[in-house]
Amino acid sequence: MTETRLGQATNFDSWKHAYAKRAENLAVSEVRALFSVVSRPEVVSLAGGMPDVSAMDNDAIRSAFDSLMSSRPQYALQYGGGQGDLRLREQICQIMELDGVHGSVEDLMITTGSQHALELISDLFLDQGDVVLVESPSYVGAVGIFRHKEAHIEHVFTDHDGLSPDALEEAVERLKADGKRIKLLYVVPNFANPSGVTLSEERRQRVLQICRDHGILIVEDNPYGLLYFEDQPPKALRAFDGEGVVYLGSFSKILSPGLRVGYVLAPPAIREKLVLANESAILSPATFAQMLVSEYLATCDWQKQVADYRNLYRTKRDAALEAVRQYLPSLHTTEPSGGFFLWLTLPEGLNSKEMLPLAVTELVAYTPGTAFFGDGRGHENIRICFSHPTAENVKVGIHRLANVIDRQIELLETFGSSK
Amino acid sequence: MSHRVLILAGGISHERDVSLKSGRRVADALTDAGCEVEIREPDGELIGHLMASRPDVVWSTLHGAVGEDGSIQDLLSLARIRYVGSLADGARLAWDKPTAKIIMARHGVQTPTSITLPSSSFRELNAESVLAMVATELSYPLIVKPAQSGSAQGVNQVNNAKEFSKAMIEAFAYGDEVMVERFVEGTELAISVIDLGGGPVALPAVEIVPESGSFGYNERYTPGQTDYFVPARLPATVLEAAAEVAIAAHSALRLRHMSRIDLIVDEEGTPWFLEANVTPGMTETSLLPQAVTASGQSLSETYLSLVEVALR
């Protein structure tokens, strides 16, 4: 056929030719679009890792707000320094002591949530192809940043006691033998996202030693450490090594993610560069949010609020485990002693990502395990977040999930494995 | 006097995200045209709100069952509220892909041979035998798709038995019936049809050339991943034939005001009907808005005209 009419081509992106190579990963995701339904009240969302802010003492926040606006509005509404508010940093030092971390206000920097700290650290250390060692599975937000930096993400075997030091050592030896540059170990040692497991005390020492021996900087992310349901977790890795560990913390889980206030404690040389990078990226973290957090910490009983959260999330964890035992008795689940998450392993052959549309039809949402791997694994896993729905809805959601899994098993038995 | 338009968007379908984007785009265009626009979710308070506020016109950008299977249209008719888009009977015919194909075949329009099966039939008849028979009779490559869905969700091209089984599981995640269709190689076209009261008119055909070779969800909604040629790079006679098929589909399926007809034109220049869209996407990368713009009209003018047609 001959072309008799030539149409004008468009692709709705005039700047396609100009993007950096790393922008290739930034595409629309069908799975992400499916999550749009979680805002509907009919849907029980076990997907997003959100705190239950309905349990927050709003009067305390309002009182902190009023106090701030009546005493220091001229500072709260102004630009701040790149390192963050000094009074808040002093208060954070006291909070970190609860995890055994002794740090100086000089080595602490405020960030826009700890996700921002992770972005700055990755930008500082990672060239294309550099290796980041992570747990297996690892936090989706970290995997996303490392992927965007075009790093090589190496998952290290992880079990109910957390990251395996033996597997870590093996991975380091193997990668070094392959000529790879290993830059970072990223770890969430307490009630990890997504697995819920906690790195044991004994393993913490071995992990520290292995990283010291091989010159690998540890990035310790600890957003859930204060949300323990039984015993307090072991001391932070940073408690034992001030030079080899960069420590990240956040107010997102114990106060409010809407304020976007996190922090990073780093060795002085790294901290210096982080502050410069922070100023370059955003001038200063949000002054108003920092000062509101600071006022809240100074004037309210925040430790009671955290204790209330512990009780609330313990109840929800119990509801989730009870529902799993009742409706999904054959599935393996982690049994976290803190934090927000269960990690389920599906029957062989099931694919959590392919099953998600069926779950949406049944009005339940979860996060497929594939989100927590940088190497395509995780199809057989599901992350359940029990922190946000009510305990009753956690049970309803898991019951619905059980029906979805039954239906998917039926399809699998009919058509064979989808692998 | 400006028209009070209530836009329905969102819902709990798999295409909720697309629906919300479509709704906001339509709202922007109608606001620019001087309408008084409100966007609402279909929820437990919708009926009460509709009856109390009685908008001049409702424009539903709901995708998926409630928006496209005739339900919302029936309710609006019952409430005697005017709305843009197809009436319930047309929506029902077009929403169900196998039904639409049967009707088009009866009107002498080519449509790829297909078979539609519910999941229960596989359990009763042995899936392996059924799939083997279907593959033998229709021949690979095949297109596997949910019988009722949009945005290419759950749609896969398969080339062998292993892919076939996997695609069936994926498609059944979106609904209880799956259609398996013979693949037709050719140029992929979307022809939007608009009827502003003077009869259905085909807008310029949009030729779809996805970078990956497959026009899936990501290729539809990520700017830059698909090249669109408007009008399509086909001979005028072929484009005319394709436009005739689009208008025939719009009429035969009793669609009203607007629709989008998806076609494949094979190497011989024959247009093959694939499916009709009751509620075409209206996002920034969607096909109907492209066709409107290519026809020389502004979106605001065209959408306002559709509102005014609905008011008649």
Residues A237 and A351 in one domain: no
Q: B93-110+185-297 and B114-182: same fold?
A: no
What pLDDT does residue A7 have? 57
Instruction: Please write the tens of the pLDDT for every residue from B80-105.
Output: 999 999 999 999 999 999 999 999 99
Q: What is the pLDDT of residue A33?
A: 80
A1 within domain boundaries: no
How far apart, in Å, are the Cα atoms of A9 and each of A374, B271, B297? 35, 21, 18
Q: What is the pLDDT of residues A356-366, one digit of tens each?
A: 999 999 999 99
Residues A158 and A288 placed together within one structural domain of the fold:
yes
pLDDT at B120: 87
Q: Is residue A22 part of a domain?
A: no
Count of CB contacts below 8 A, A vs B? 130
DSSP B211: T
> Residue A256: what pLDDT?
94
Number of domains in chain A: 2
Contact flag B122-A412 (C-beta cutoff 8 Å): no
B233 vs A363: CB contact, 8 Å cut-off?
no
Residue A392 lies in a domain: yes
Same domain, A174 and A292: yes
Same domain, A322 and A367: yes
Q: Would residue A350 count as lying in a domain? A: yes
Give the nearest partner residue to B228 out of A11, A40, A42, using CB atoms.
Answer: A11
Last residue within a domain, chosen from A299, A315, A338:
A299
Domain boundary among A276, A299, A322: A299
Q: A248 lies in a domain? A: yes
Residues A368 and A291 in one domain: no
Both A97 and A233 in a single domain? yes
Domain ranges, residue A72: 58-299
Q: Give the model's pLDDT for residue B217.
A: 86
Given a contact cutoff of 8 angstroms between Cβ atoms, the answer to whether B248 and B261 are in contact is: no
Q: Please list the alpha-helical segments (H only) found in chain B.
A: 16-32, 46-53, 65-68, 71-78, 88-95, 97-106, 119-125, 127-138, 161-172, 217-221, 236-252, 287-294, 299-311
Distance, in Å, from the CA atom of A249 to the CA atom of A264, rounded to the nearest integer, reads 6
Classify domain B4-84 at the CATH topology level. Answer: Rossmann fold (3.40.50)
CA-to-CA dists, residue A206 to A158, A168, A220, A267, angstroms: 14, 10, 15, 21
Q: What is the value of ipTM here, to two decimals?
A: 0.88
Write down the domain spans for chain B. 4-84, 93-110+185-297, 114-182
- Is 3.90.780.10 the CATH classification of the domain at B114-182? no
Nearest CA to A46 among A320, A296, A370, A258? A320
Integer CA distances (angstroms), B14 to A177, A381, A414, B173, B193, in order: 47, 22, 24, 11, 25
Q: Which CATH class is domain B93-110+185-297?
A: alpha beta
Residues of A with Cβ-Cβ distance to B227 under 8 angstroms: 9-11
Question: From B229, which residue of chain A is nearest by alpha-carbon distance?
Answer: A9
Contact criterion met (CB below 8 Å) for A310 and A229: yes
Same domain, A268 and A393: no
Does one domain contain both A74 and A172? yes
Judge if A255 and A316 occupy the same domain: no
- What is the radius of gyration, based on Cα positions, of chain B? 19
Residues 232-271 of B with CB under 8 A from A: 232-236, 238-239, 267, 269
Rg of chain A on CA atoms, in Å:
23
Inform me whether the C-beta atom of residue B140 falls under 8 Å from chain A C-beta atoms.
no
CB contact under 8 A, B231 and A7: yes
Q: What does the angle CA A97 – CA A98 – CA A101 come to, to the nearest 5 degrees?
A: 40
| Distance, CA of A308 to CA of A310 (rounded, Å) | 5
- Per the structure block, which two tokens stand in for B49? 């709100």
Residues facing B36 on adjacent strands: B4
**Residue A385 lies inside a defined structural domain of this protein:** yes
Q: Which two tokens stand for residue A292?
A: 């509101």
- Give B187-244 pLDDT, tens digit per residue: 999 999 999 999 999 999 999 999 998 898 888 888 888 999 999 999 999 999 999 9
pLDDT tens for each residue of A127-153:
999 999 999 999 999 999 999 999 999
pLDDT at position A6: 47
Residue A126 belongs to a domain with what CATH number? 3.40.640.10
Question: Does the residue A215 lie in any domain?
Answer: yes
DSSP string computed for A174-238: HHHHTT--EEEEEE--SS-TTT-----HHHHHHHHHHHHHHT-EEEEE-SSTT-BSSSPPPPPGG
**Are residues A197 and A323 located together in one domain of the fold?**
no
**What's at A301, amino acid-wise?**
D
Name the DSSP letter for residue B69: S
CATH number at residue A338: 3.90.1150.10
Are B279 and B63 spatial neighbours (Cβ–Cβ below 8 Å)?
yes
- For residues A347 and A409, the answer to whether their CB atoms sit within 8 Å is yes
The answer to whether the CB of A118 falls within 8 A of the CB of A140 is no
A220-239 per-position pLDDT tens digit: 999 999 999 999 999 999 99
Low-confidence ranges of chain B (pLDDT < 70): 1
B14 vs A: CB within 8 A: yes
Same-domain check for residues A46 and A127: no
Which of A266, A299, A332 marks a domain boundary?
A299
Cα(B103)–Cα(B88) distance, integer angstroms: 16
Residue A20, domain member (yes or no): no
Task: Answer yes or no: is pLDDT of A4 > 50.
Answer: no
Asked if residue A77 and residue A35 are part of one domain, the reply reads no
